[in-house]
Amino acid sequence: MQGGQSASDVPERPIEELSALRDVQPPAALVARVMTRLAEPRAPSLWLWLWLRRPFSIEIKVTPLVLICLTLGLGALFVIIGATMH
């Protein structure tokens, strides 16, 4: 590829052996089965059924004291990790 051409700019020639496959018709049973599967809704799995059955929420209550302790603890952890990496 020269002159700033990318791979998508290069024209592709058809492969002679594969171009003959355009004329092949799929079996009617295969087409019917695929169309049937697309038309029928899929039954939900047990996990999905349990998940969608009822909504739930997660509520986390954080007090200012817990937030301060968590910040100080993470800061101390970073200092310890930083000191041991040298």
In the chain, where the domains are located: 62-86
7's CB contacts (< 8 A; 6+ apart) are 1
pTM above 0.85, yes or no: no
pLDDT tens-place values along the chain, 86 residues long: 555 566 666 677 777 777 777 777 877 887 777 777 767 777 777 777 777 777 778 898 899 999 999 999 999 999 999 888 86
Write the DSSP string, 23-80.
GPPPPHHHHHHHHHHHHSPPPPPHHHHHHHHS---------HHHHHHHHHHHHHHHHH
